[in-house]
Protein backbone atom coordinates (compact mmCIF):
# COMPACT_ATOMS: atom_id res chain seq x y z
CA UNK A 1 0.00 0.00 0.00
CA UNK A 2 2.84 2.38 0.79
CA UNK A 3 3.96 2.18 -2.84
CA UNK A 4 0.58 3.35 -4.24
CA UNK A 5 0.51 6.84 -5.74
CA UNK A 6 -1.54 9.26 -3.65
CA UNK A 7 -1.42 7.10 -0.52
CA UNK A 8 0.74 7.98 2.44
CA UNK A 9 1.04 6.07 5.70
CA UNK A 10 1.06 7.88 9.02
CA UNK A 11 2.20 5.60 11.83
CA UNK A 12 1.50 6.19 15.53
CA UNK A 13 -1.19 8.79 14.80
CA UNK A 14 -4.76 8.96 16.08
CA UNK A 15 -7.47 10.80 14.17
CA UNK A 16 -8.54 13.59 16.51
CA UNK A 17 -11.07 15.32 14.25
CA UNK A 18 -12.47 15.30 10.74
CA UNK A 19 -12.16 18.85 9.40
CA UNK A 20 -14.63 20.66 7.15
CA UNK A 21 -18.15 22.09 7.31
CA UNK A 22 -19.94 21.11 4.07
CA UNK A 23 -17.49 18.43 2.96
CA UNK A 24 -14.36 16.70 4.19
CA UNK A 25 -11.36 19.00 3.96
CA UNK A 26 -8.88 17.10 6.08
CA UNK A 27 -8.18 15.25 9.30
CA UNK A 28 -6.36 16.34 12.45
CA UNK A 29 -3.84 13.74 13.55
CA UNK A 30 -2.64 13.43 17.12
CA UNK A 31 0.91 12.14 17.53
CA UNK A 32 0.80 9.18 19.93
CA UNK A 33 4.44 9.79 20.84
CA UNK A 34 3.70 13.23 22.28
CA UNK A 35 4.43 15.40 19.23
CA UNK A 36 2.20 18.22 18.03
CA UNK A 37 -1.10 17.53 16.27
CA UNK A 38 -1.01 18.11 12.51
CA UNK A 39 -3.73 18.76 9.91
CA UNK A 40 -3.63 16.52 6.86
CA UNK A 41 -5.65 17.79 3.86
CA UNK A 42 -7.85 15.14 2.22
CA UNK A 43 -11.20 14.97 0.43
CA UNK A 44 -12.54 11.70 1.83
CA UNK A 45 -12.54 9.74 5.07
CA UNK A 46 -13.34 6.10 5.82
CA UNK A 47 -13.46 5.22 9.50
CA UNK A 48 -12.08 1.67 9.60
CA UNK A 49 -12.46 1.17 13.33
CA UNK A 50 -14.48 -1.17 15.47
CA UNK A 51 -12.82 -4.45 14.55
CA UNK A 52 -11.82 -5.56 18.04
CA UNK A 53 -14.49 -7.85 19.58
CA UNK A 54 -15.93 -6.51 22.85
CA UNK A 55 -15.89 -9.79 24.74
CA UNK A 56 -13.91 -8.64 27.77
CA UNK A 57 -16.99 -8.38 30.01
CA UNK A 58 -17.64 -12.11 29.72
CA UNK A 59 -16.04 -14.75 31.94
CA UNK A 60 -12.51 -15.59 30.83
CA UNK A 61 -13.45 -19.27 30.96
CA UNK A 62 -15.56 -18.94 27.79
CA UNK A 63 -13.49 -20.23 24.86
CA UNK A 64 -12.21 -17.64 22.41
CA UNK A 65 -9.99 -17.53 19.35
CA UNK A 66 -6.64 -15.69 19.29
CA UNK A 67 -8.40 -12.36 18.55
CA UNK A 68 -10.85 -12.71 21.43
CA UNK A 69 -13.85 -13.78 19.35
CA UNK A 70 -16.14 -16.24 21.07
CA UNK A 71 -16.13 -19.82 19.81
CA UNK A 72 -19.59 -21.24 19.24
CA UNK A 73 -21.12 -24.53 18.20
CA UNK A 74 -23.62 -24.96 15.36
CA UNK A 75 -26.39 -23.59 17.61
CA UNK A 76 -24.25 -20.47 18.32
CA UNK A 77 -23.86 -21.50 21.95
CA UNK A 78 -20.50 -20.72 23.52
CA UNK A 79 -18.52 -23.10 25.71
CA UNK A 80 -20.60 -21.83 28.66
CA UNK A 81 -24.06 -23.43 28.42
CA UNK A 82 -26.77 -20.79 28.11
CA UNK A 83 -24.43 -18.11 26.72
CA UNK A 84 -24.91 -17.55 22.98
CA UNK A 85 -22.95 -15.31 20.63
CA UNK A 86 -24.09 -13.57 17.45
CA UNK A 87 -22.43 -11.22 15.02
CA UNK A 88 -19.04 -9.59 15.18
CA UNK A 89 -18.17 -10.97 18.60
CA UNK A 90 -18.42 -14.54 17.28
CA UNK A 91 -15.54 -16.39 15.65
CA UNK A 92 -16.48 -17.28 12.09
CA UNK A 93 -19.22 -14.71 11.53
CA UNK A 94 -19.58 -13.65 7.91
CA UNK A 95 -18.46 -10.03 8.30
CA UNK A 96 -21.57 -8.22 7.05
CA UNK A 97 -24.49 -6.64 8.85
CA UNK A 98 -26.85 -9.18 7.29
CA UNK A 99 -24.72 -12.01 8.71
CA UNK A 100 -24.91 -10.47 12.18
CA UNK A 101 -28.70 -10.19 11.87
CA UNK A 102 -29.01 -13.81 10.75
CA UNK A 103 -26.78 -14.84 13.65
CA UNK A 104 -29.05 -12.98 16.05
CA UNK A 105 -32.12 -14.81 14.79
CA UNK A 106 -30.36 -18.19 14.91
CA UNK A 107 -28.96 -17.61 18.41
CA UNK A 108 -32.35 -16.47 19.73
CA UNK A 109 -34.00 -19.56 18.25
CA UNK A 110 -31.37 -21.81 19.81
CA UNK A 111 -31.81 -20.15 23.18
CA UNK A 112 -35.60 -20.57 22.98
CA UNK A 113 -35.22 -24.23 22.02
CA UNK A 114 -32.93 -24.76 25.01
CA UNK A 115 -35.48 -23.18 27.36
CA UNK A 116 -38.30 -25.37 25.96
CA UNK A 117 -36.24 -28.59 26.14
C1 LIG B 1 -15.30 0.02 9.35
C2 LIG B 1 -16.38 -0.97 9.12
C3 LIG B 1 -17.16 -0.87 7.97
C4 LIG B 1 -18.19 -1.79 7.74
N5 LIG B 1 -18.92 -1.68 6.60
C6 LIG B 1 -19.93 -2.56 6.38
C7 LIG B 1 -20.76 -2.45 5.24
O8 LIG B 1 -20.58 -1.57 4.40
N9 LIG B 1 -21.76 -3.36 5.08
C10 LIG B 1 -22.01 -4.34 5.98
O11 LIG B 1 -22.94 -5.13 5.80
N12 LIG B 1 -21.26 -4.45 7.10
C13 LIG B 1 -20.23 -3.60 7.30
N14 LIG B 1 -19.46 -3.71 8.42
C15 LIG B 1 -19.73 -4.82 9.35
C16 LIG B 1 -20.91 -4.49 10.26
O17 LIG B 1 -20.67 -3.24 10.86
C18 LIG B 1 -20.98 -5.59 11.30
O19 LIG B 1 -21.18 -6.81 10.65
C20 LIG B 1 -22.11 -5.37 12.27
O21 LIG B 1 -22.05 -4.07 12.85
C22 LIG B 1 -22.02 -6.41 13.37
O23 LIG B 1 -23.13 -6.21 14.21
P24 LIG B 1 -23.06 -6.63 15.72
O25 LIG B 1 -24.38 -6.31 16.29
O26 LIG B 1 -22.57 -8.04 15.80
O27 LIG B 1 -21.88 -5.75 16.38
P28 LIG B 1 -21.86 -4.18 16.60
O29 LIG B 1 -22.51 -3.45 15.46
O30 LIG B 1 -20.44 -3.88 16.92
O31 LIG B 1 -22.79 -3.96 17.85
C32 LIG B 1 -22.41 -4.41 19.12
C33 LIG B 1 -23.11 -3.52 20.14
O34 LIG B 1 -22.93 -4.07 21.43
C35 LIG B 1 -22.64 -3.02 22.30
N36 LIG B 1 -21.94 -3.59 23.46
C37 LIG B 1 -20.66 -4.01 23.55
N38 LIG B 1 -20.39 -4.46 24.80
C39 LIG B 1 -21.54 -4.33 25.49
C40 LIG B 1 -21.92 -4.61 26.82
N41 LIG B 1 -21.05 -5.14 27.70
N42 LIG B 1 -23.17 -4.34 27.20
C43 LIG B 1 -24.07 -3.80 26.33
N44 LIG B 1 -23.77 -3.51 25.05
C45 LIG B 1 -22.53 -3.77 24.63
C46 LIG B 1 -21.79 -2.06 21.50
O47 LIG B 1 -21.80 -0.78 22.06
C48 LIG B 1 -22.51 -2.11 20.17
O49 LIG B 1 -23.55 -1.17 20.11
C50 LIG B 1 -18.44 -2.82 8.68
C51 LIG B 1 -17.67 -2.88 9.84
C52 LIG B 1 -16.66 -2.00 10.06
C53 LIG B 1 -15.85 -2.09 11.32
94 and 105 housed in the same domain: yes
- At 50 the pLDDT is 84
How far away, in angstroms, is 30 Cα from ligand 1 center? 25
25 and 57 housed in the same domain: no
- At 2 the pLDDT is 56
In the chain, % of residues over pLDDT 70: 97
CB 43 within 8 A of CB 24: yes
Q: Could you please report the per-residue DSSP string of 72-113? A: --TT-B-SSTT-B--GGGBTT--SSHHHHHHHHHHHHHHHHH
38 and 84 housed in the same domain: no
Range of the domain at 76: 52-117
Q: Write down the mean pLDDT value for the chain.
A: 94
Closest CA to ligand 1's atom 29: 88
How far away, in angstroms, is 48 Cα from ligand 1 center? 12
Q: Which atom of ligand 1 is nearest to the CA of 88?
A: 26
18 and 44 housed in the same domain: yes
Q: pLDDT tens, 58-114? A: 999 999 999 999 999 999 999 999 999 999 999 999 999 999 999 999 999 999 999
- At 86 the pLDDT is 98
Ligand 1 within 6 A of 100 CB?
yes
Residue 42's closest CA among 67, 75, 14, 17? 17
How far away, in angstroms, is 52 Cα from ligand 1 center? 10
| Distance from C-alpha of 15 to C-alpha of 30, rounded to nearest angstrom | 6
Sign of CA dihedral 7, 8, 13, 16: negative
58 and 114 housed in the same domain: yes
Ligand 1 within 6 A of 88 CB?
yes
Amino acid sequence: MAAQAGISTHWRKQVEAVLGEQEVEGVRLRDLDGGASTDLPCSGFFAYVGLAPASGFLPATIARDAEGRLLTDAALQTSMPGVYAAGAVRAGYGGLLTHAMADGVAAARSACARIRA
